[in-house]
Amino acid sequence: MIQVKEFVDADNSYAENKANEFLAGLLEEQIVNICYGSVVKSARDGSEHQRTTILVVYKTYEKQ
C-alpha cells in the first residue's frame, strides 16, 4: 500500500527534524518520493512568516 505522511510547520527545521525521524524508521526501498515546499506570507503588520511542508510518499507492507 502507498501512503503519504505530511510534515507542516512555520519553522522549517521542525518539519525537517520530524521528517528525518520518520525516514529513519523506513527501509530505503519503502521510500517512493519526498517533496518539499515553502512559502513566505506577509502579515498586515509587514512581518513575514515562512510555512514549510514536507511530504513523504512511502510503501507499507501488508501482513499476509
Q: Residue range 50-61: average pLDDT?
A: 94
Instruction: Tell the CATH topology of 2-59.
Output: Dodecin subunit-like (3.30.1660)
The pLDDT of residue 64: 59
Contact 1, 57 (CB under 8 A): no
What's the pLDDT at 44?
A: 92
Instruction: Give the percent of the chain with pLDDT over 70.
Output: 94
Average pLDDT over residues 49-54: 90
Determine the average pLDDT of the residues in 23-45: 94
**pLDDT at 12 exceeding the cut of 70:** no
**Of residues 18 and 49, more confidently modeled:** 18
Q: In this structure, what are the phi and psi dihedrals at residue 2, rounded to the nearest 5 degrees?
A: -95, 135
Spatial separation of the C-alpha atoms in residues 30 and 51, rounded to whole Å: 27
